[in-house]
Amino acid sequence: MAENDKKIVFSGVQPSGNLTIGNYLGAIKNFSRFSEDYKTFYCVVDLHAITVRQVPAELRKRTYETLALYMACGLDPKENTLFVQSHVPQHAELGWILDCYTMFGELSRMTQFKDKSAKNAQNINAGLFTYPALMAADILLYQTDIVPVGIDQKQHLELARDVAARFNLIYSDTFKIPEGYIPTDTMKIMSLQEPTAKMSKSDPNENAVVRILDSKDDIMRKFKRAVTDSETCVRYSEDKPGVSNLMTIYRAFTGKTFDEIEREFDGKGYGDFKLAVGEACADGLTSVRDEFARLVQDKAHLEAVMKAGAEDAYGYARRTMSKVRRKIGFVN
């Protein structure tokens, strides 16, 4: 199939800290499955990162690292467009335009704004409020067909669809209406210490978060300390959030079903179960950690990937923006 005939996939990850196994299992691990049949754009969304105050040198470092991590997780830059959001200025341009077609009430209902405002009470800035419109711009800029999205991001995708439909209604067809893709073989990965809350890379409790680049010793230690319950039965159930979360992680790394996991640990205690989950996770991430360590040392190669990716993305973004600018009345 010619590249121009392929449907388009877009997704982005913030360079805001060492990514977790939740980011890996819920998103990045699944990205490579699209490479053969779709035109894929995978972006390091550094513009989104600055809604929270960043140390500039650290942000630059993490931008390189996130790109390297994309590649270490199996994304070949020859088969996927890998780039940095701020290197394609049309993201910010379309973000502002879509601000003007996104309703205050829509943004007020975004649950992540409420959550992040509570965590950053001293810096509730306008960008934090309007960044769902920038996220919509990220998606719509490439005439995206499919967005691999976590369960917690469905609300933002729905907003992008609503804004695209509103713009199209006013100015005739301009944007494709994107569809979400939520893998059926993974679920939301929860905190190891508070299993009713999503695992977050910004969690101050390091025992709650397993990061992709953690050492095997750190991974094993964190799983040994994972919260379970007062029973000793390995069983998937809503009333056993800690055990169910560990079973989800184990299933993701081993491919076993919940029934198979329950039979495997029938009559065994949580200690054996936690060790097995830790081993499966650490072993599953070994090749990623090794490849990342190699890639992150080659800054020139990473910059070449960034440059080539930005040039490819720019061509697509420029075509969309030419259409948008003409329709809203800007002089080219």
Provide the pLDDT confidence category of residue 7 given band limits of 50, 70 and 90: very high
**For residue 12, pLDDT beyond 80:** yes
Domain coordinates in residue numbering, the chain:
3-182+298-328, 206-293
Average of pLDDT values for 92-106?
95
286-293: which pairs have CB atoms within 8 A and are 24 or more residues apart?
A: 286/216, 288/24, 288/69, 288/72, 288/73, 288/212, 289/72, 289/212, 289/213, 291/71, 291/72, 292/65, 292/68, 292/69, 292/72, 292/212, 292/213
Catalytic positions: 116, 198, 201
Please determine, for residue 252, whether its predicted confidence score (pLDDT) is greater than 80. Answer: yes
Q: Check whether 203 has a pLDDT greater than 90.
A: no
pLDDT of 155: 85
Domain topology for 3-182+298-328: Rossmann fold (3.40.50)
Task: With cut-offs at 50, 70 and 90, classify the pLDDT of residue 3.
Answer: low
Question: CA-to-CA distance for 280 and 285, rounded, in angstroms?
Answer: 9
Select 206-293's CATH number: 2.60.34.30, 1.10.240.10, 1.10.10.1110, 3.40.190.10: 1.10.240.10
pLDDT, position 81 = 98
pLDDT of residue 104: 92
